[in-house]
Structure 1
Amino acid sequence: MRVQGKLSQTFEYDDNPLLSTREHEAATGSITSPELLLNADFPGLTNQLDLRADVNRYDIKGFDSDDFFGALRSRWVGTVWSASLNASFDYDTTRTSELETSGINIAGIRHTTVSLGPEIGVALTPQDMVNLGGSYVRSTYGETMRHTNYEVLGISPRFAHALDERNSALATVRLSRFQTRSGPTTTVDTIAPMAGWERKISETLTVSAMFGIQQMRSTVGTTQSVGQGDSSSTDLVFDSSLTYRDQQDRIVLALNRQPSPSGDGTMNQATGVSLSLIHTLSPQVSLKLDASYKVTESSGNGGVSNEKAYLTASPRLSYRIFDELDVGLSYRYRQQKDIMGEISESQSFLLNFVYAPVAADLGL
């Protein structure tokens, strides 16, 4: 078993942290993040536990918080069978968690998210692989006047057939159920059969794409006197990515359209594109860029489509002072467009130090 501790210290200035469209004030603060990583590897079995705490201190009332995060990743690989489990626990606030979903950006309200993702797979032949994956997400807010507690249960059987050394055919069926746990009772069932392919263009470049048709059925209850309403819709969904890796660069470009649960008590349809880039300039210097754009569509009164959009881009320059200490300087731009068409923007500057001593081997 290996144990590694990390300590991160971030100083931040943000001119509009809550992405307000009218009056807003800038925030200056710091985030202190101790982290512990545990790795326990056995023949055919890998386990990793990641525990982190964020101590947030700002000069604006309601921004201070002590947040906690945990993640467990476990994978077993046998001769024919394989199994994995990903689990996470997030205990943060709505100051940051709602930016890409409900857009209800309010400081000081607790938000707890628990997620589980088990999966089992079997190699039918050297060319054919079948996987059965599941997912469960439970989201709970400390205040339910403006936010809605919900849970999402999903299951997804998948099939992959290797056509040759570079090409594979893919097929899956994604099923999910979204259900609110506070406020009006809302249940949304989705089923989406999808098919596609994956091609290894070269030793460094891989592309994959899947397309399908999604059927969504919603049941919304209001009060006993009013009753409930049912609706259904059919939509195109897709999931595609392009990945490039070599000794100096790692680039991932993704484009997808899929259901997106929201803290306002709805299951929306979201189309997103994201870019992640890491370029190593030297053994001490690296450049990173994370950017994403997401458009969320929700059904309004009379079937009118309402759209919300969220854009973020963040370049970061990192320098390794010595083996155990890194310093990073980054800039982050955010833009949000609400359903009324009003646009808000934010610019922030961050200075980050990360101390990561050499992992200790406990010999267990």
Structure 2
Amino acid sequence: MGSVTSPELLINADLPGVTNQLDLRGDVNRYDLKGFDSEDLFGALRSRWVGTLWTASMNASLDYDTTRTSELGGSGINIAGIRHTTVSLGPEVGVALTPQDMVNVGGTYVRSTYGDTKRYTNYEVLGLSPRLAHAFDERNSGLATVRMSRFQTRTGPSSTVDTVAPMAGWERKLSETLTISALVGIQQMTSSVEASGAVGQSERSSSDLVFDSTLTYRDQQDQITLALNRQPSPSGDGTMNQATGVSLSLTHTLSPRVNLKLDTTYKVTELSGSQGGSNEKVYLTASPKLLYRIFDKIDVGLSYRYRQQKEVAGDISESQSFMVNLICNSSSFELGL
């Protein structure tokens, strides 16, 4: 049993051609189990610049939490109470070559550090993804990209994992409210790991199918996003795993004052460091939420969250949470020159 108190501040500041959003949240976690209490901080900055023929964006985040939360759906190790910090940057630039052709180049940088490097491994991830979209008509676009990344450990045995995944796909506007997109490709992964008890490196390579698909529906009453993907997933145990996931996000407007939301995720992670038997770890979470606007700028809500994790050995752990939400929306503002 326990409680989670989560104050959050969301600031939007717009300039001509520029949108900025700053999201700050703090979690105070209190439980009746030793080592589960923590005070966590989360921050995210999202900026976007729009020109006549170009766009640019920057997404940056800083998470200061514990492995009880950050490692729940990822690593094969989940030990409560170990401090964890993650810094991530995601710049992207897009240029319209012609009215039909758009080229985007996106980059990623992630640095993850742990308070206990005997149980966890600090690591960095660098990524680069050039992308081309060609519009054949108002409803159909062809997509092509190459996703490249390098995972490298910063503590413990030296390990480097390079991935290259050329992908091709399609985006189709089925109607004014419904859009579907899909990318599929073959990923080449090359690993170089410090050999145990010997001098030198142990190298291996493998190929795998990867994909990324999304279905979105938008109208005045409903907003629905269904996503299915398979991609590499860095882990605090010093390996780069492969994860297949499906997620659903839904917002339904029952009335001008009442909204119903649902977020659910199912994720299967194949642990590359597992020896023998099953090497899959399964994570499931579902969270319905009901929001009611009691005043012009104040919402109250009730939410429920269910989480289940199945370990490689077959052990299953579950958690259930009931939460009361209070949301105050201050007046929006714009910064102009």
Pairs within 5 Å for 1:83-162? 83-162=56-135
For structure 1, the residue ranges without an aligned partner over 5 or more in a row are 1-26
CA contact (8 A) 2:239 2:272 kept: no
Equivalent residue for 1:33? 7
CA contact (8 A) 1:328 1:352 kept: yes
Equivalent residue for 1:169? 142
2:25 to 52, 55, 80: 52
SS at match of 2:68: helix
Return the offset for 1:362: 6.9
What is the distance in 2 between the residues matched to 1:323 and 1:134?
Answer: 40
1:281 to 223, 236, 254: 254
CA contact (8 A) 1:299 1:305 kept: no
Pairs within 5 Å for 1:341-360? 341-359=314-332
What is the distance in 2 between the residues matched to 1:314 and 1:119?
Answer: 31
Return the offset for 1:233: 0.5
What is the distance in 2 between the residues matched to 1:166 and 1:183?
Answer: 51
For structure 2, the residue ranges without an aligned partner over 5 or more in a row are none
Structure 2 counterpart of 1:349, one-letter code: F
With over 3 angstroms needed to count, the CA separation of the structure-2 counterparts of 1:84 and 1:34, relative to structure 1, is closer
Return the offset for 1:225: 3.1
SS at match of 1:126: coil
CA contact (8 A) 2:210 2:229 kept: yes
Return the offset for 1:127: 0.1
Structure 1 counterpart of 2:109, one-letter code: Y
Equivalent residue for 2:267? 294
With over 3 angstroms needed to count, the CA separation of the structure-2 counterparts of 1:167 and 1:67, relative to structure 1, is same
Cα shift readout 1:229-284 (whole Å, capped 9, x = no counterpart): 11110000000010001011001000000000111111001110001111010111
Equivalent residue for 1:236? 209
The percentage of aligned residue pairs carrying the same residue is 74
What is the distance in 2 between the residues matched to 1:300 and 1:137?
Answer: 21
Structure 2 counterpart of 1:238, one-letter code: F
CA contact (8 A) 2:15 2:335 kept: no
What is the distance in 1 between the residues matched to 2:11 and 2:237?
Answer: 34
Return the offset for 1:317: 1.2
Return the offset for 1:340: 1.2
What is the distance in 1 between the residues matched to 2:4 and 2:284?
Answer: 24
What is the distance in 1 between the residues matched to 2:19 and 2:331?
Answer: 20
SS at match of 1:264: coil
CA contact (8 A) 1:244 1:250 kept: yes
Q: Does 1:315 align with 2:315?
A: no
Structure 1 counterpart of 2:242, one-letter code: Q
SS at match of 1:281: strand
Larger RCO: 1 or 2 (CA < 8 Å, sep 6+): 1
TM-score by length of 1: 0.88
TM-score by length of 2: 0.94
Return the offset for 1:224: 6.5
Return the offset for 1:38: 4.3
What is the distance in 2 between the residues matched to 1:333 and 1:301?
Answer: 27
Return the offset for 1:42: 2.3
What is the distance in 2 between the residues matched to 1:261 and 1:314?
Answer: 25
CA contact (8 A) 2:192 2:202 kept: yes
CA contact (8 A) 1:29 1:59 kept: no
With over 3 angstroms needed to count, the CA separation of the structure-2 counterparts of 1:204 and 1:103, relative to structure 1, is same
CA RMSD, Structure 1 to Structure 2 (Å):
1.9
Q: Does 1:262 align with 2:235?
A: yes
Mean CA deviation greater in 47-56 or 313-322: 47-56
What is the distance in 1 between the residues matched to 2:30 and 2:251?
Answer: 29
Q: Does 1:225 align with 2:176?
A: no
CA contact (8 A) 1:76 1:83 kept: yes
What is the distance in 1 between the residues matched to 2:223 and 2:194?
Answer: 47
What is the distance in 1 between the residues matched to 2:29 and 2:234?
Answer: 27
What is the distance in 1 between the residues matched to 2:114 and 2:275?
Answer: 29
SS at match of 1:96: helix
Aligned residues: 337
SS at match of 2:208: strand
What is the distance in 2 between the residues matched to 1:239 and 1:126?
Answer: 25
What is the distance in 2 between the residues matched to 1:296 and 1:145?
Answer: 23
2:299 to 315, 326, 337: 326
Structure 1 counterpart of 2:5, one-letter code: I
Return the offset for 1:47: 2.1
CA contact (8 A) 1:298 1:305 kept: no
Equivalent residue for 1:72? 45
Return the offset for 1:223: 5.0
SS at match of 1:95: helix
